[in-house]
Structure 1
Amino acid sequence: MKKFAIFLCLLLPPLIMSLLIKLHLFSYALGKVDSWIGFWGSYLGALIGAGTVYVVTSKQIKEQRKIQLESIREEHDNALRREMKQYHFRNQIDKIEEFYEIIEEFLDTLTKCSNDFTKYVTYTHVLYGGQDTYTNEEEAKFKAEIKEIKAEYYNWIHLLNRLNFKISRLSLYIEDTSYYAKCISIQLDEFINELKAGYKDKYSFNKFLVNANQSSLNHHLKEFLKLTSQLLINVLEPKLEQKIKEMRIDKV
């Protein structure tokens, strides 16, 4: 259809002009018919040439604009992909660094909790271990310390459970950490049960003072240190180095 329209545009103007020249109206025009035919031929030829240039130029402009838009869109998509990859790397690095901080806080809380229990064992041993060398003031002081420690240990348990939840949550985002998170959770349950049993019995010092190194609490503390060390050395540190390296390479 488009080709047919172009054919008509090329064919009709000469035919129309040949018919118009024969009209009575054009008999008043100065000059010869041949001259007018030449004029109108040149005039129409110029119009057709200008129209052709306009059509070709418009088409070229549209094509060029299309190419530019495609280039801009492609560059935008590439930039968006780079930003998303950088965000992914940064998010992974943040999660790993957060894991470091949680593990550090977890171990610090365990240490403080264990230190409090050591004080509890020491004070109960003085009071109920057959040592009557303390004064009434010292007895009141020891009992007040024991009461404060037993009240505080509920806060330690709450904090340890909250940190354990954070460790479990972070393990969902970082590969190869779920095993360690589960082991830490199991050890924590046993540690808390042992702690509760120790605080309930004012004579628990008998078990913990006989051989403190072999006590269940110390065993759990050693397991915590072992698990967290393996987690940091075998998983988190290599992953952190890898993500930082990948992020730097992607920026280049």
Structure 2
Amino acid sequence: MKKWLTGIVVVIILSIPVLFVAWGMTWKWTSFAPGDTDAWIGFWGGYLGAIIGALAAGAIAYFVARRQIDLQAEMDNKREKQFLATQLRIQKYQEAYSLLGDLNREFVVLRMEVLKYIHKEIDLTALRTIDDKCQENIMILNRRINSLEPFIEKLPQAHKTIKANYQIMVDIIYDGYTYPESGKTIALDTSSDTFKSVSQELLMYTMHFCEDINGYLKNEINKLEKES
């Protein structure tokens, strides 16, 4: 609707000079000017044509420039969104890397304390205290890692594997060391060799996934540097 009205207005504006010249040539007081009607029609035609041509060229230049500005703004907006998205991914990768590193350190502490208990370097009370503290810290870290799963593609499956392996280690610790008299039998084998094997597998898997996260982080940083 707006374009239709604009077209009508343009036609009217362009018609006004033509009608004015045609009308003006009928005035008696303009008869003093030398030249016949055809010559003056040619003069005014060229004169008005030049003006209309200049206006048309200016209008085209304006619309072309405006289109270029809009396209540039659109491209800048797209680049800005990509830049912000990359920054967000970097932030999430950094957070995941830090949390997984903290989680693995808790696994290391728990493993070392159980091995100390096996070698009779600490008593049962000390082991239970450390075990409770480590499990509390691990639970908090797992909750925070859960919140990052929607942002990192391979994190949900890797975290699921980490938690499953951790649960196997916890069951061995509970049945074989911290509460062997509870009567519950969750772990089939609570020997020290099995504990060492299971805990070592957990540590290595978590460490390797931390390295993967670090690799993703470096790729995103390189991408950010190219975008900027």
1:98 and 2:102 are equivalent in the alignment: yes
Give 5+ residue unaligned stretches, structure 1: 119-152, 197-218
TM-score of the superposed pair, with normalisation by structure 2: 0.67
1:80 and 2:80 are equivalent in the alignment: no
Partner of 1:239: 209
Q: Deviations over 1:118-144 (max 9, x none)?
A: 9xxxxxxxxxxxxxxxxxxxxxxxxxx
Inter-CA distance 224–169: structure 2 relative to 1 (3 Å threshold) = farther
1:186 and 2:171 are equivalent in the alignment: yes
Contact persistence 1:86–1:247 (CA under 8 A): yes
SS at match of 2:161: coil
Partner of 1:130: none
**Greater radius of gyration (CA):** 1
Partner of 1:49: 53
Inter-CA distance 77–29: structure 2 relative to 1 (3 Å threshold) = farther
* Matched length: 193
Contact persistence 1:21–1:33 (CA under 8 A): no
Partner of 2:18: 14
- CA shift, 1:47, in A, is 2.1
- CA shift, 1:178, in A, is 1.4
Matched to 2:132, the amino acid is: N
CA RMSD of aligned residues (A): 3.3
Partner of 2:30: 27
Give 5+ residue unaligned stretches, structure 2: 146-158, 183-189, 224-228
TM-score of the superposed pair, with normalisation by structure 1: 0.62
Inter-CA distance 60–71: structure 2 relative to 1 (3 Å threshold) = same
SS at match of 1:22: coil
Partner of 1:58: 62
